């Protein structure tokens, strides 16, 4: 096993290193991944000023790239759509709609002249053998501008990833110029699809941005999306809008996509919905707003390194002076060699050194004679004469010797010397030369943007130099605040199902998709859960209401429960402040029966005791506000050491009705109405039946109720009472359901009065 582990570790490290350096992460030197670099190298090699079939380019690139044609073709399309270094002809897809490109045999491309100026210089580029050793490919191109920023990059490797957003070409070059001048600069991403971005947490390329679509709400019944968010196309945006509509998060009547070379998505709104009302919902529930995390991970000196945009631009500014120095030195060496050859040629012909070889019989004597002929003119030579120099002189044809123009030769020598002086001057002022080069390139790019793309294939999109993405500061949108509270939460007491997809039963209240609800069963078990689609809770649901902590913690529950053995009644006042979603909790002690739950702060209640010998006081009234609030897990306070027959609760004094109330049963009721002068039996109390466990032992609990119930959402346990009804109750009675109309309670009350 140790041997296998060593093999695995070695192979894994090799694989990880290969993926990181040769597949997924771009190199800082030229901003290209290996497949992109090989594509550009192929285009440079086959460039003849005309278009080439992409299929042909892919085939030629396979000489350098050890992978399939599909990966090369896809990478070429992505590189061409960045609009910098490759001219394209045909359908290369659409970055606005997300449509793919045509088959490679139908589209054409060639390298743009800008690529040669920014990337290509084979004289100072290092080449290595290709994977099969038959060809040469560049290690990296000597790029003069930060291509990794202009084009952006994205890749996933083993244990790391990179996400670099594209930047504006003009802004990058100007930032590089400012760096060379020692001036401060600030730069942010810019994408061709436009949109808005908030760069508050961008952290110079290693943080995150919030991007939004540009939405036109000038027409209150129509919304038009004119610009896409970063890294999004119209197809993805439409899918997100459709999903939000299906999930009930936004209300729209129709959506149409007219996107071509610019974004135009039209959303029509239904009756009663206006553009300003739905704008926040679009940002909250669709891809109109996205958060994108960025990380500028690049390969530097064969190692993955995280850098910032500022560091990359400063690196390229320093690197540009080095590239210009290498180019000038290479040109100086070439011109020096050219000057040496022109001097040799002049002396060879003007001094008739070629005459000295007429009598020579062997190659060695010929070479020696030529070299000896230059000895008197050694002071005029730049360096000593070599065998290669002799071979070059001997190849001069007789006609050229006879037509040799000494004046023309001297002009060429003078021109070379002037250029050498200019090179020497520029080598002393590399920074100024770099600034001059960038300014010239910026002007040249501007000239390319003025060309007609239909007549000249070198034409560059003018938008390449114009910022498309606008920097903005966004206010945070809470998805809960943006949600519409218009979804009907229903409960079916016959099946015990609760949710927004329950079609039968009664509506409890209007909720939003991110709300939470508090459900209390007749057994004393309560649960806090997210608004369900459809979930079974219980056929005996007592109370249901909103469960947001800031709301639920303000609700004071007054709970009455009874010991089935002693029939003593207890009261407990508590709040539900902490909970775990979807976990069941018990609000009363074990083996107790729940009698009543009330959410009012002030009310009175009366205990009716069972008749016993020598028991003179059969009723006793208490005020709920006189009892102290306790913890949720604390024991209640015993009201009296007497067996209680039933409990009578003071009715509501308000006429309001709140969604979330439970409709109480009317099977067994006690008509008690309190007034300032007398009590009149006229309004019945609606109560829920007692649990099956104690139905045969307890009497009916009742209370006087008003015409409409208030925000308290209270419910009362109905127990048996021989005073009101002598017949035995059925122990399996269930609550008739949830009510959202106070009129239902009023009508039932009137029916009871008539009886």
- N residues, the chain: 755
Strands 637-638 and 593-598, bridge-based pairing: unpaired
CA distance 25 to 16: 12
CA distance 227 to 237: 11
Nearest partner of 285 among 195, 208, 227, 213, judged by Cα:
213
Lay out the sheet containing 265-268: strands in order across.
Answer: 214-216, 222-227, 265-268, 254-257
Identified catalytic residue from 15, 106, 131, 330: 106
Question: Which residue pairs from 380-386 have beta carbons closer than 8 angstroms and sit at least 24 positions apart in sequence?
Answer: 380/343, 380/347, 381/340, 381/343, 381/344, 382/336, 382/339, 382/340, 382/343, 383/340, 385/344
Strands 688-689 and 715-718, bridge-based pairing: parallel
Return the structure tokens found at 515: 């709300």
CA distance 407 to 393: 19
Q: Which residues fall within 8 angstroms of residue 83, CB to CB, at 6 or more apart?
A: 192, 460, 461, 464
With residue 14 as reference, give the H or E element that holds it: helix 2-19
> Please, are residues 609 and 640 in contact by the beta-carbon 8 Å criterion?
yes
- Burial of residue 605 (CB within 10 Å: 0-12, 13-18, 19+) is buried
Instruction: Please indicate whether residue 579 is annotated as part of the active site.
Output: no
What are the C-alpha distances in Å from 752 to residues 196, 667, 683, 684, 703?
A: 64, 9, 8, 7, 13
CA distance 267 to 242: 11
> Please, are residues 313 and 187 in contact by the beta-carbon 8 Å criterion?
yes
- Burial of residue 492 (CB within 10 Å: 0-12, 13-18, 19+) is buried
Look-up: residue for tokens 């038959």? 134
> Please, are residues 176 and 313 in contact by the beta-carbon 8 Å criterion?
yes
Return the structure tokens found at 559: 């709970």
> Please, are residues 120 and 138 in contact by the beta-carbon 8 Å criterion?
no
Strands (E), 112-213: 127-129, 136-138, 153-157, 160-164, 196-198, 208-212
Say whether 574 sits in a helix, a strand or coil.
strand
Residue 376 Cα to chain centre, angstroms: 78
Question: Which spans in 147-225 are helix H?
Answer: 147-151, 169-181
Question: Which residue pairs from 98-106 have beta carbons closer than 8 angstroms and sit at least 24 positions apart in sequence?
Answer: 98/233, 98/234, 98/235, 98/236, 101/77, 103/55, 104/53, 104/54, 104/55, 104/58, 104/69, 104/73, 105/53, 105/54, 105/55
CA distance 706 to 698: 25
DSSP at 376: G
3-state secondary structure 521-573: ECCCEEEEEECCCCEECCCCEEEEEECCHHHHCCCCEEEEEECCCCCCEEEEE
> Please, are residues 180 and 431 in contact by the beta-carbon 8 Å criterion?
yes
Tell me how crowded residue 334 is: count the other CB atoms within 10 A of its CB. 12
The secondary structure of 612-648 as a DSSP string is -TT----EEEEEGGGSPB--TTSPPEE--SS-EEEEE
CA distance 460 to 478: 42
214 strand-pairing partners: 227
Catalytic residues: 106
């Amino acid at each position: 096993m140790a041997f296998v582990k060593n093999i695995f570790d070695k192979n894994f490290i090799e694989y990880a290193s290969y993926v990181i350096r040769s597949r997924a992460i771009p190199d800082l030197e030229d901003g290209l991944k290996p497949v992109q670099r090989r594509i550009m190298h192929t285009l440079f090699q086959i460039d003849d000023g005309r278009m080439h079939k992409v299929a042909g380019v892919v085939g030629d690139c396979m000489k350098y790239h050890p992978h399939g044609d599909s990966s090369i073709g896809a990478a070429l399309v992505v590189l061409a759509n960045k609009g910098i270094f490759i001219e394209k002809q045909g359908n290369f897809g659409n970055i606005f709609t997300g449509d793919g490109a045509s088959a490679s045999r139908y589209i054409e491309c060639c390298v743009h002249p800008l690529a040669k100026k920014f990337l290509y210089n084979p004289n100072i580029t290092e080449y290595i053998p290709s994977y099969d050793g038959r060809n040469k490919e560049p290690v990296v191109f000597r790029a003069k501008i930060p291509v990794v920023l202009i084009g952006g990059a994205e890749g996933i490797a083993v244990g790391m990833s990179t996400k670099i957003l594209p930047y504006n070409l003009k802004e990058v070059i100007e930032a590089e110029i400012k760096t060379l001048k020692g001036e401060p600069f600030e730069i942010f991403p810019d994408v061709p699809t436009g949109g808005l971005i908030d760069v508050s947490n961008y952290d110079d390329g290693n943080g995150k941005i919030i991007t939004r679509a540009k939405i036109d709400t000038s027409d209150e019944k129509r919304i038009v999306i004119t610009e896409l968010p970063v890294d999004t196309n119209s197809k993805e945006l439409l899918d997100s809008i459709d999903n939000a509509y299906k999930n009930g998060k936004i209300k729209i009547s129709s959506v149409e996509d007219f996107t071509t070379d610019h974004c135009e998505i039209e959303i029509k709104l239904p009756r009663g919905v206006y553009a300003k009302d739905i704008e926040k919902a679009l940002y909250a529930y669709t891809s109109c707003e996205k958060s994108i995390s960025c990380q500028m991970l690049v390969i530097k000196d064969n190692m993955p390194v995280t850098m910032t945009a500022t560091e990359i631009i400063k690196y390229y500014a320093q690197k540009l002076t080095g590239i210009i120095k290498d180019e000038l030195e290479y040109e100086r060496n070439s011109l020096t060699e050219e000057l040496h050859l022109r001097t040799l040629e002049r002396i060879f012909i003007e001094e008739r050194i070629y005459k000295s070889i007429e009598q020579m019989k062997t190659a060695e004597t010929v070479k020696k004679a030529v070299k000896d002929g230059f000895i008197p003119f050694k002071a005029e030579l730049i360096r000593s004469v070599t065998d290669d120099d002799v071979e070059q002189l001997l190849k001069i044809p007789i006609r050229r010797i006879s037509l040799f123009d000494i004046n023309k030769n001297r002009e060429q020598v003078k021109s070379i010397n002037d250029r050498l002086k200019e090179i020497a001057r520029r080598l002393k002022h590399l920074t100024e030369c770099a600034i001059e080069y960038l300014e010239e390139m910026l002007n040249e790019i501007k000239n390319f943007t003025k060309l007609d793309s239909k007549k000249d294939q070198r034409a560059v999109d003018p938008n390449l130099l114009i910022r498309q993405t606008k920097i903005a500061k966004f206010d945070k949108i809470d998805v809960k605040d943006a949600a519409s509270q218009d979804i009907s939460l229903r409960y079916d007491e016959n099946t015990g199902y609760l949710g927004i997809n329950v079609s039968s039963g009664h509506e409890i209240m209007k909720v939003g998709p991110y709300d939470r609800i508090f459900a209390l069963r007749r057994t004393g078990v309560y649960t806090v859960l997210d608004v369900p689609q459809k979930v079974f809770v219980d056929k005996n649901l007592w109370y249901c209401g909103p469960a947001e902590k800031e709301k639920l913690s303000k609700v004071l529950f007054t709970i009455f429960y009874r010991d089935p053995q002693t029939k003593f009644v207890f009261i407990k006042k508590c709040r539900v402040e902490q909970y775990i979603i979807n976990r069941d909790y018990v609000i009363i002690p074990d083996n107790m029966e729940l009698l009543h739950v009330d959410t009012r702060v002030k009310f009175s209640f009366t205990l009716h005791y069972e008749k016993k010998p020598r028991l003179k006081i059969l009723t006793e009234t208490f005020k709920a506000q006189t009892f102290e609030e306790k913890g949720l897990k604390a024991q209640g306070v015993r009201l009296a050491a007497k067996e209680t027959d039933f409990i009578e609760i003071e009715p509501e004094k308000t006429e309001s009705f709140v969604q979330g109330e439970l409709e109480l049963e009317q099977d067994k009721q006690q008509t008690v109405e309190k007034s300032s002068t007398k009590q009149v039996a006229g309004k019945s109390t609606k109560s829920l039946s007692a649990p099956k466990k104690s139905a045969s032992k307890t009497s009916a609990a009742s209370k006087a109720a008003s015409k409409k119930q208030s925000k308290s959402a209270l419910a009362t346990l109905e127990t048996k009472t021989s005073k009101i009804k002598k017949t035995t109750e059925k122990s399996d009675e269930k609550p008739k359901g949830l009510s959202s109309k106070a009129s239902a309670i009023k009508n039932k009350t009137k029916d009871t009065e008539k009886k």
